[in-house]
Amino acid sequence: MARINLFLLLFSLWLNNLRGNPVLDSLAQQGNTKAQFYFAQLCYSDSSTKEKQALYWIKKMGSQGNALACQYTARAYWKGLGTNKNSLKANDWFLKAYAMGDTDSLSFLGKVLEEDQKPLEAVAAYELAYQKYKSKEAGYRLKEIKSNLTTISEDTIAEKISILRQRVSEINDSSLATKQRDKIKSTVRIVLEDGSTYQGKILDGKPHGYGKKLTYDGQLYIGDFHQGIENGYGTLFSKKGTISYQGLWKEGSPQL
């Protein structure tokens, strides 16, 4: 955690001159990784802001292929930071981090698997970490577990490693498919059924992704959409230009 917070702090200091800049939110929503890290740091340093908003930004960055953000997302699910503990999601995100080139995630994955009482799978993770990066920690844990599993065979370990590598391959294939799908989306201006005007990403003729929606009564929403409705992180402005709400949305409604 200290490593992650230090990394975020460095971004915060570097981006300090952006504090209060009205385009910061827009940059983060459009995928600017520096702005996303800055928002995450603000969330963790502001006691009035829930950790889940920080996780939102880090997860968003991880989804864009940042290895360190993937590792942090995994640790959040592992330790229950800003979300409920979920070892399955932690496993997936640690593998994503490894697939993106993070050198520590396999050792973390081994620890999660140990906690889940899955020693064979843990051995596979540690073995791969040791083979790939010569991790001293992985080597130590590998020796400890093997000493308690005297009947384990090298063929069994090789099989488990093969399964891990297959999962990593599937993650890489999925990432490529996501990038290709994103290219299909286009930024356009359309009129919605309720008379509102929308400009941003669309999918199948509906707002999907980052965009701006101006309602007939003058309210402006800037943020994430999912299949036509507000969903994710967004800001609602009144017709006078003041912020009515800023934060997470779910199925068209703010999460107060």
Q: What is the pLDDT of residues 215-224, one digit of tens each?
A: 988 999 998 8
Residue 81: what are its φ and ψ, rounded to 5°?
A: -100, 105
**74: helix, coil or strand?**
helix
The angle subtended at Cα 205 by Cα 204 and Cα 210, nearest 5°, is 90
What is the percent of the chain where pLDDT is above 70?
74
Partner residues linked to 198 by β-bridges: 190, 213
Greater pLDDT, 201 or 31: 201
Per-residue pLDDT at 138 exceeds 70? yes
% of the chain with per-residue pLDDT over 90: 24
Which of 119, 126, 117, 135 lies closest to 161, judged by CA?
A: 126
Q: How many CA atoms lie within 13 A of 244 on its CB side?
A: 14
CA distance 109 to 97: 10
Question: C-alpha distances in angstroms, 31 versus 27, 81, 116, 122, 254?
Answer: 7, 23, 35, 34, 22
Amino acid at 168: V
Crossing angle of the two packed helices 33-45 and 2-14, in degrees rounded to 10? 110
Residue 28 scores a pLDDT above 60: no
**Alpha-helix residue ranges (DSSP H) falling in the chain:** 2-14, 24-29, 33-45, 51-63, 67-79, 87-99, 105-115, 119-133, 136-148, 154-184
Per-residue model confidence (pLDDT) at position 64: 79
> Does residue 43 surpass a pLDDT of 70?
no
CA dist 211 and 248 (Å) reads: 15
Backbone dihedral region of 81: left (phi > 0), alpha (psi from -120 to 50 degrees) or beta?
beta
- Confidence (pLDDT) at 197: 93
pLDDT of residue 30: 54
Identify residue 225 by its one-letter amino acid code.
F
At 230 the pLDDT is 95
What secondary structure letter does DSSP report for 248?
E
pLDDT at 209 over 70: yes
CA distance 111 to 32: 32
Q: Does residue 209 contact residue 223 with C-beta atoms inside 8 Å?
A: no
- Give the pLDDT mean for 116-124: 93
For the segment 33-62, the average pLDDT, to the nearest whole number, is: 61
Comparing 198 with 173, the larger pLDDT belongs to 198
Amino acid at residue number 90: A
The pair of three-digit structure tokens given for residue 111, joined into one six-digit string:
């620890």
pLDDT for residue 161 is more than 80:
yes
**Which residues 6+ apart lie within 8 Å of 64 measured at CB?**
31, 33
